[in-house]
Structure 1
Amino acid sequence: MVNVYSSQSKREKAIFMYKKSLKIQLIILGYNMLLHHIIYNIGLIYCDQSNYIEALCMFEKSLQIRLSIFDHNYPNIAALYHKIGLIYYYQRNHKETLSMINKSLQIQLPIFDHNHVDVAKSYHSIGLIYYHQGNHKEALSMFEKSLQIRLSILDHNHPDVAESYHSIGLIYYHQGNHKGALSMFNKSLKIWLLLFGCNHRHVTILYHNMGDVYKSQNKHKEAICMYNKSQKMKSLVLDDNYSYNIKSYNKIGNA
């Protein structure tokens, strides 16, 4: 029943039902496996609502329960450290994000083969933190590690591979490597177009970023072409008031 509410996006009702279930479980079973799942699911709903303070509270409660049930090097513990790290990331608390993701990675590496999807995700998340801190050298190293793993275990047209190409392209762009940036953006774009067609958020962002590269090269005709493509797609897949639309209109005028 709770899952039905969640799938229908009736999130407030879902939270109410989870909390009602939580009270019953506390009386009957105490802090057990089922309880931590309920708390975790409440956290997911808060996260989906961008209520990161409440989400963090729920995930930390879930972590305390998991630590009391499982060995501290259990994969589920690593997954929750990563989830908490993402909450800190959304709050732009990069120091705590890095701490949580590193805790997750330290658990993952001894358990999994290094070529594991969760390890790749952790490397990529660490790369994002370095990127937002302006540490492009370390960010590139993390993104390349993640890409290498993803190419070895995933289909080369997997969304995670496209994500890695895009992230590496952003680093190249900020390093002034425009040729490398365009190459990475094009690789990413081909995958997203193959998987989802033109009307997808990632496609709009890539056209926008490619426009930025061309603009930096003083290739104004190509830049305007990319910004126009991006704007056309954004008008279809994003709200008209979305700030990204405003940026595109401005850049078309300035290119």
Structure 2
Amino acid sequence: MWEESGDLAGSQVVLQNLGIAYFQFGELKKSLYFYNRCVERSTSLKDEAMIASCLHGIGDTYLEKGDYILALTYANRSLEIGRKLGNPEQLSMALTSIGLNYQMLSRHSEALTSFEESLRLSESIGDRNRQINDLMNMGNSYKDLGDFSKSMAFYQKSLTLDGSDDESPYRNPGVSVNIAEVYLEQGNYEQAGSLFNIALSIFEKSGSKYGVAFSLSGLAKTYSAQKDFRKAIEFEEKALAMREQMGSNFDAIRSLVNLGNDYFELGDKSKAVEYYKKAQANSEQLGYDSLSLLVHLAFAKVHLAEGDYAKAIVEAERADTFASKMPGYSERWKIYGPLGKAYQAIGKSGLARENYKKSILIIEDSLLKFAGGESEQERFFAERIQPYYLMIELLRSQNELVEAFDYSERSKSRSLLDILRNGRDELNKLTSIKEKQREQALRSDLVTLNAQISMESEKKPQDSVRTSELRKGLNNKRLEFENFQVALYVAHPELKVQRGEMAPISPVETTKLLLDDKSALIEYAVAGDKTFLLSLPRTSDKSLF
């Protein structure tokens, strides 16, 4: 209609809007078609601003498809025109897209530089929505780097800009899923599941297929982390179907790997390998280093389970090669455990020890970047305890008992069960009056709800409906308190110092506590399906497992 009327300027706007609409509904091929027509029309009209805008749209569509190199090409073309026109809004949009592509390529330093420049531009023109997105994207980069404390700090800043007093992530599904990812990484599965479900509901109402698929996959990973692998498969298959339908290649491959992992945990290795092979073929064809890493690590675990240690080493080392191209990759510790086990199995204890040590050092570094409360840190570390156990078992087998004792104590000192605290959960002068009042109110609500549940439980007969409502209210209030605690640690990282983290006690220091040569200290190390016992008398030459 616009073309027939001769309104070519109007027709290019229509073409752009069609590209946007099809993108939002996950119809990426149609989106590309209309964006490309928009570029052609705008070129004939010499409308450089519209050319830049539609090039940006094409770049974002390729980003969604997972073709990051091509997406970067279009984003940079859009950036060049934006600089030529001196349009800060266009520049900010292009820089954000460039940052997102670098992020997906695990080039986080370049991603953060792009987001920071975009943020400065969006601040200069007062574009609050773009500021919120830039802050959220910076949080995502720090999350991928494993720096959860900085990640949550940027998420909190983005929520503050949203203009809400309670800083609740619930109103913004984009923030919700990202905070849920942090909770998932830190082992707070209840909070993660709650936020993924909230985001899923919002995305379904808005018709965002990408958001729905992301939320479904997030729920699948949450179930998988809780060992409910069949439920995880159910949700991941739904996410995979949507991603394949949209042509979202990168995310579809991630779903394939996730499904393979779930089937592997269920003991169905043939099904797992089927998914891994499909993921490998697609990732190699498209050149996704981060996904190739995951596939090689998956095959390493399969070969390790089959007792084919030579192949396990080859696959794990390939995974490590890809990881070396991704500075700051926070999950690299997962590679060194299987690699160490394979080396240990073929008698190369030195290499096994070296890999276990690498894994442990990465884990301990990640604890310094943790954002959250005590129970969350305990869960976070519990998910990463295995390398310590592997090291203890290796050292025991080599009769290096003093060092085995060191690692046993080291693992316990990292666990919050054995950390000496100074004023558990108390707020000090670092906190504001509002924070103190909020903390006190939440604690008071928890006490009140617990008391009400106790009273209802003692009634004869019990009001089951009332009791159920109170328990639901208590659960919601507890989740609210945990959310508050995370925000508090992000705002005041100094509070962590009050926990009094101590260096693990050494064998020499331990023996000084014994009364005489007839006394001995008994040290237990429960390592999965094995329990080690270390007897430590005053004379270390008598120590034995």
**Structures share a fold, TM > 0.5?**
yes
**Deviates most, 129-138 or 36-45:** 36-45
Q: Once structures 1 and 2 are overlaid, which stretch shifts more, 141-150 or 5-14? A: 5-14
TM-aligned CA distance change 1:205 to 1:248, over 3 Å:
farther
Answer yes or no: is the 8 Å Cα contact 1:204–1:231 preserved in 2: no
Equivalent residue, structure 2, for 1:231: 233
1:53 aligns to 2:73 (yes or no): no
- Structure-to-structure mapping, 1:66-145, within 5 angstroms: 66-70=82-86, 74-112=88-126, 116-145=128-157
In structure 1, what is the equivalent of residue 291 of structure 2?
none
* Structure 1 runs not aligned, ≥5 long: 215-222
CA distance in 1, matches of 2:198, 2:163: 13
The partner residue of 1:187 within 184, 194, 209 is 194
Measure, in 2, the Cα distance between the counterparts of 1:108 and 1:230: 39
- In 1, the alpha carbon distance for the partners of 2:181 and 2:216 equals 14
Query: Which whole-Å CA distance do the structure 2 matches of 1:211 and 1:159 have between them?
Result: 22
Distance 1:187 1:13 in 2: 38
SS in 2 for 1:242: helix
Secondary structure, aligned partner of 2:101: helix
Q: CA deviation at 1:34?
A: 2.9
Deviations 1:19-66 (A, max 9, x none): 6446534xxx3x732332343333334334433223222221221211
CA distance in 1, matches of 2:153, 2:60: 31
Supply the AA of the counterpart residue of 1:109.
Answer: E
Change (3 A) 1:106 1:208: same
Q: Which structure 2 residue ranges, 5 or more long, are not aligned? A: 1-13, 245-254, 269-545
1:149 and 1:187 map into 2 onto residues whose CA distance is 23
Normalization by structure 2: what TM-score? 0.36
Paired residue for 1:208, among 212, 221, 237? Answer: 221
Aligned residue in 2 for 1:218: none
Per the alignment, residue 219 of structure 1 pairs with none
DSSP-derived class of the 2:170 partner: coil
145-154 or 59-68: bigger deviation: 145-154
- Separation in structure 1 between the aligned mates of residue 65 and residue 52 of structure 2, nearest angstrom: 20
Could you say if the C-alpha distance between residues 187 and 109 of structure 1 is closer, same or farther in structure 2, counting changes exceeding 3 Å?
A: farther
Identity %: 17
Q: 1:37 to 1:126 in 2, by over 3 A?
A: closer
State the partner residue of 1:34.
50
Which amino acid is 2:198 matched to? I
What count of residue pairs does the alignment treat as equivalent? 227
Tell me the CA shift for residue 83 of structure 1: 1.2
Which residue in 1 is equivalent to 2:264? Answer: 250
* Structure 2 residue aligned with 1:217: none
Instruction: State whether residues 150 and 160 of structure 1, in contact with CA within 8 Å, keep that contact through their aligned partners in structure 2.
Output: no
In structure 1, what is the equivalent of residue 386 of structure 2?
none
After TM superposition, give the deviation of residue 185 of structure 1 in Å: 0.8
Check conservation: 1:129, 1:139, Cα contact below 8 A. yes
- Tell me the distance in 2 between the aligned counterparts of 1:15 and 1:234: 31
User: Which of 1 and 2 has greater Rg?
Assistant: 2
Matched letter for residue 44 of structure 2:
I
Which residue identity does 2:106 align to in structure 1? Answer: R
Report the CA distance shift for 1:102/1:2 in structure 2 as closer, same or farther (over 3 A): same
Superposed CA RMSD in Å reads 3.4
The question of whether the paired residues in 1 share the 8 Å contact of 2:75 and 2:94 is answered with yes
> Which shifted more, 127-136 or 203-212?
203-212
| Residue 238 (structure 1) shift | 1.6
Q: Distance in 2 between matches of 1:184 and 1:21?
A: 48
SS at match of 2:106: coil
1:47-104 superposed Cα distances (whole Å, 9 cap, x missing partner) = 3443322322222122121122235xx2332222111111111222212111100111
8 Å Cα contact 1:101-1:122 kept in structure 2: yes
Preserved contact between residue 168 and residue 184 of structure 1 (Cα < 8 Å)? no
Q: 1:40 corresponds to which letter in structure 2?
A: H
Aligned-partner Cα distance in 2 for 1:207–1:54: 30
Asked if the contact 2:197–2:219 (Cα under 8 Å) also holds between the matched residues in 1, the reply is: no
How big is the shift at 1:166? 0.7
Query: Residues 47 and 155 from structure 1, CA distance in 2 versus in 1: closer, same or farther, beyond 3 angstroms?
Result: closer
Relative to structure 1, is the Cα distance of residues 147 and 167 closer, same or farther in structure 2, using a 3 angstrom cutoff?
A: farther
- Give, in whole Å, the separation in 2 of the partners of 1:203 and 1:54: 28
Distance 1:166 1:91 in 2: 22
Deviates more, 1:85-94 or 1:45-54: 45-54
Matched with 1:44 is 60
The aligned residue for residue 24 of structure 1 is: 44
Q: Note if contact 2:170-2:199 (Cα within 8 Å) is conserved in structure 1.
A: no
Distance 2:200 2:151 in 1: 26
Cα displacement string for residues 175-230 of structure 1 (whole angstroms, at most 9, x for unaligned residues):
xxx4xx23421330341353339x94313422422542x4xxxxxxxx32xx3222
SS class of match (1:134): coil
Sort the Cα spacing of 1:56 and 1:13 in 2 relative to 1 into closer, same or farther, 3 A.
same
How far apart, in 1, do the equivalents of 2:126 and 2:39 lie?
35
